[in-house]
Amino acid sequence: METAFFERMTVSDLLRAMAHGLLTAEELTGRCLKRIELLNPLLHAVISVNPHALAEARKVDRLRASGFPLGPLSGIPVLVKDNIDTLGLPTTAGSEALRHALPHRDAELVVRLRRSGAIILGKANLTEWAAYRSEIPHNGWSPVGGQTRNPYVLDRSPFGSSSGSAVAAAAGLAPVTIGTETFGSIVSPSGMNGVVGFKPSLGRVSGAGIVPISPYQDTAGPITRNVADAGAVFEVIATSRRAIRLEPGLLAGTRIGLWSGVRKSASHQDENRVLAEATAKLHELGATIVEVDLSVFDTSEVLSYEFKVSINDYLSSIGGDGPHDLDELIAFRSHPAERTSDLGLAKFERAQDSDMARRPSDYLEERVQITEEARDSLDRVFVRHRLDAIMSPTNGRAPEISERDFAWLHSCGPAAVGGYPSITVPAGYADSQLPLGVSFTGRRNRDEELLGLAYSFEQATLARKRPLYLPTLPV
C-alpha cells in the first residue's frame, strides 16, 4: 500500500523536501487523499474531504516557485475534527441533525492554519457530539461517520471523542490532525492509537467556531505522530507564542511527579510495567522522580448548564438546515440513524432541564469554586515538590469495540478541570500490539516547557511503532 510520506518524516522534513523540489504540496495532498480513499472504508476516520484541497495545494506550489514568502505550514495537509467550523464544509459533530448545517466562517484556529499555508484536507470522525449525548457513549461512533476503528487491532476501540483525528494521525492519512478536549478527548484516543496528543492550557487556543460543551474546559490541540509536529502546529494555532526548546536531553535539575491515575480496577499489569519503564528512562536522563497523589473534581452538574447555554448560542449562529437550539436538537431523536432507542439522550435532556433545577448564578459559583480548588490542588503539588511536570498513565489496554464493562484507566481529570496543559507520548504496548501512552501535565500556561520535556522523553524512548491493521489480537 502506497504511503503518503515516510513514517519518520516530520513536518519539518516535509517542508524541507518541498523547499528543495523533492516534493510538491500537490503531490503530498494527492497522496493523502489517495490514502484516505484506500483506508477510510476500513477505519472510518474521515467524515468528509475538502474538494478544493488539490487546488489549494497547487496555489501553495505556485507561490513557493515564485519565491513568495510562505507561512510555517505551507503545503502541509491537516485534518480537523468535525466539530470545528470549516467554511465550505458542514460541521456535523457526527450527528445527522447537523449534516446540512453550514458555518458562516472558519473557526479561529482554522483561520490561523490557513494563514500558515496549511491545506485543510477534510473533517475527521468523532464520538457523536464529542461524547456529550448519552451516559455511556459508543467511543468512536457517529451516525454520519460510522464506527472508527483502532488501526493497531481493528476490533479494538479507538476511544474518543477525537477518535478520527487520532486514528488518521496513526494511519498517516494526514501529517497532522486537530482534536478537541473537554475531559480527555485529545489525550485518551491519542494514547490508545499510539500517537502524540497535546491539550494546551485553557485559553491558549481560541475556542471560537468549535461546537461547544463548556467554555471552562473546552480546548483544541494537535494530534500528531511525534512531539516536534505537535509543537509546530501549536505555534501556529496558539493565540500567544513563546519559543519551544526541542532538545534530546532534559534540563539539569528536572523534577517529575509520578501519579498512578484513576483506575477502575487494580488489574493493570501492562500499564504498570510501561509506567515503570518510563520512570526508569527518566531516571537515566537525570530526572528526580517524586510520587504524588492528585485530587479529581466532578464537574458533571455544571457541565449540564454550561452545555445548554453554549450549544444554544452556537446553534443559533450557524446557517443551513438544522436545529436552532437544544430543544429542537432533542426533538431530532426520531431520525433512525441516531439510534436514540438504545443510546438515549440523557445528557441532552439533563442539560435542557438544568436551569429549572438551579439558578444560573448557582452554577457559576460552583464552577468558580471547582476551578479554584482544582488549580490550588495542582499548584500545591507543583510547589511542594518543585516539579516541572507530573507523569501518569494515559490509558489502559484498548477494549473490544463492543465491550462496555472494561478495566479503564485515565489521568486526564486534573489538567482538564484546572485548564493545565497535558501531553501524551507513546510509551509501550499491551499484548505487544495495543498502544499505551504516558501523559505529562505541566504548569498552567507553560505549554512550551511541557512540549520540550515531552520531546526529550520521546527521543530517549522512541517507543512508537507503525500500526499493522490486525483484524484481532493473535491467540
d(CA 475, CA 471): 12
Catalytic residue among 48, 116, 185, 304: 185
Helices (H), ranges, 20-94? 25-43, 53-66
d(CA 432, CA 421): 29
Helices (H), ranges, 93-239? 108-115, 163-171, 187-192, 227-237
Please report, in angstroms and rounded to a whole number, the separation of the first and last CA atoms in the chain.
26
Catalytic residue among 48, 81, 123, 163: 81
81 is catalytic: yes
Report how far apart, in Å, the C-alpha atoms of 243 and of each of 404, 446, 449 are. Answer: 43, 11, 9
12 is catalytic: no
Residue entry with cell 490542588: 377
Residue entry with cell 500567544: 240
Q: Which helix (H) or strand (E) holds 133?
A: none
Task: Write the DSSP assignment of 203-214 as a string of letters.
Answer: TSB--TTB--S-
d(CA 82, CA 305): 23
Catalytic residue among 161, 163, 214, 304: 161
Q: Which residues are catalytic?
A: 81, 161, 185
